[in-house]
Amino acid sequence: MPKPIQLIVACAENRIIGRAGRLPFDIPEDKQWFHDQTANQTVVLGRICYETWPRVLADGRQPVVITSQPERILHGAERSPRPTGRAISPLTAANVPAALALAQTLPGAIMVCGGQRIYEETLPLADRILLTLVHAEVEGDTWFPEWRQLDWRESWRRESADANYRYTFTILERVR
């Protein structure tokens, strides 16, 4: 039986997930949630996410990077410092289907970590979304695809806030 495909994302009410290659909000509790959920798992992500957030790969994460330029990723990995944890060399795949097939052969859960195009291609295949919904509308240039029109069941929820934002951690399971 294939492993479930899980998307993990933090987005604003207006679905913004990025601005100029960075997160549009700084929420330490969400960063910790992300690290806790993806530690020792297989993370599937696009090249831009890989280059922008290299510390996503610490703590035993096995990255599968979707790129048409694998030599760029592999060469960059040799120079890229890892702040904590055990560094693991990235694996590369030319497209989403190849990345997911490779991820199925690796240990741990499959956690899709973005960006926009990767989420667009994997949302129809996803079994679960680990969503941090930030209760704000923010400016940005990168979006999470609309998920609310699909058939999801909320299996877990926790409300939280910091000095800048209110947000909800939610786990959504696809209803089949």
22 versus 57: the higher-pLDDT residue is 22
Q: Can you tell me the mean pLDDT for 118-142?
A: 98
Superfamily of domain 5-174: Dihydrofolate Reductase, subunit A (3.40.430.10)
Q: pLDDT at position 58, please?
A: 58
Residue type at 152 in one-letter notation: W
Q: pLDDT at position 84, please?
A: 46
CA distance 15 to 154: 18
Distance between first and last Cα of the chain: 16
Q: pLDDT at position 80, please?
A: 42
* Residue 83 pLDDT exceeds 50: no
Q: pLDDT at position 53, please?
A: 72
Q: How would you classify the pairing of strands 62-66 and 166-174?
A: unpaired
* Residue 121 pLDDT exceeds 50: yes
